[in-house]
Amino acid sequence: MDYPQIITQIATQVNPLFGQGKVADYIPELGKVPPEQFGFCLHLNDGQVFAHGHSGVKFSIQSISKVFTLSLAFQLMGEDLWKRVGVEPSGTAFNSLMQLEYEKGIPRNPLINAGALVVTDILVSAFQDPKAEILRYLRLLTGNDCIQFNASVAQSERNSGYRNYALGYFLKSFGNLHNDVEQVLDVYFHQCAVEMTCVELAAAMQLFSHHGVEPHSGQRLLTMSQTKRLNAVMQTCGFYDEAGEFTFAVGLPGKSGVGGGIAALLPGQYSLAVWSPELNKKGNSVLGMKALELFTTLTGRSVF
């Protein structure tokens, strides 16, 4: 299959979509990102990498980080993890307080903000320096020791993250946050402020395409069953309340972030990452969503 030609064709077809979305300026630091950028990276399981456009530009991975912290917490807790967070699609906004109250402090799934805060709380309990451990893990997955937090983005999120503070204290009131709320939020804001390129993000997602084996080192980090379950959560819950549309149009497990990134994979075959900062009203990249729909259409390769 001529992947470079397919990716070039995709870039041409999504180019007219610039201007149809808006950068995530509710986090002031993200609002400074130049909007007209598009990067795409395909990482095949045999090691071949095909990169295009702004695929070497670092961006804030935001909620995509939730997939990696979730996989780390799953390694630590096993099935006990699901006693504190569910696995159902939310159908409401990713930062909904109403849903958390209705479900008495057990978040609907680990990829909405409330669920991700519970996952972060697990890491705070497990590690003396959870921020350093998150970086260590991401550096292992990418094969790059330079992965780092963007301190300005983390501070911007701290200064504007009132809804996340509310979720944190709400979880604490239900007994589903075991550590100091401010400490958990500090770690959470930093994990969302991790910067990666499309090339690095596609490499990190190889863990889930290789059924839980980290291909750089050959280490098995997740069992095949755990990997299957995490891929299932990404398939059903990875795109806020647009997860059904993504499954319908694209047909891959994946996760988006309000930094404009989308990471996805086809188990046993490939992982990929796309980035374009302009978001639709559901918080997903306008060009990224269309690019992945075109990719699975043109290649005929998706879970379905």
Class of domain 20-299: alpha beta
Q: Choose among 204, 213, 168, 210: nearest CA to 186.
A: 168
Ramachandran area for residue 76 (φ above 0: left; ψ -120 to 50: alpha; else beta): alpha
Cα 2 to Cα 88: distance, rounded to the nearest angstrom: 37
Digit-coded pLDDT (tens) for 259-290: 999 999 999 999 999 999 999 999 999 999 99
Within 8 A by CB and 6+ apart from 279, the residues are 21, 22, 23, 24, 258, 260, 285, 286
**pLDDT at position 216:** 87
Catalytic residue among 66, 172, 255, 290: 66
Is 137 one of the catalytic residues?
no
Is 258 one of the catalytic residues?
yes
**pLDDT at position 5:** 98
Catalytic residue among 67, 188, 274, 286: 188
* Angle in degrees, CA 191, 258, 295, rounded to 5: 110
Could you tell me the pTM of the whole model?
0.96
**pLDDT at position 95:** 67
Catalytic residue among 118, 119, 184, 258: 258
Digit-coded pLDDT (tens) for 143-163: 999 999 999 999 999 999 999
Which DSSP letter does residue 80 get?
G
Catalytic residue among 55, 63, 90, 285: 63
Cα 168 to Cα 178: distance, rounded to the nearest angstrom: 11
Catalytic residue among 55, 181, 240, 286: 240
Q: What is the DSSP string of 9-23?
A: HHHHHHGGGTTSSB-
Is 270 one of the catalytic residues?
no
CA distances from 56 to 40, 123, 193 (A): 9, 30, 17
Is 66 one of the catalytic residues?
yes
Within 8 A by CB and 6+ apart from 70, the residues are 110, 111, 116, 119, 230, 233
Residue-by-residue pLDDT tens, the chain, 304 positions:
999 999 999 999 999 999 999 999 989 999 999 999 999 999 999 999 999 999 999 999 999 999 999 999 999 999 999 999 999 987 666 667 888 888 889 999 999 999 999 999 999 999 999 999 999 999 999 999 999 999 999 999 999 999 999 999 999 999 999 999 999 999 999 999 999 999 999 999 999 999 999 998 899 999 999 999 999 999 999 998 899 999 999 999 999 999 999 999 999 999 999 999 999 999 999 999 999 999 999 999 999 9
Tokens of 169: 């204290």
**pLDDT at position 93:** 63
Written as one letter, the residue type at 211 is H
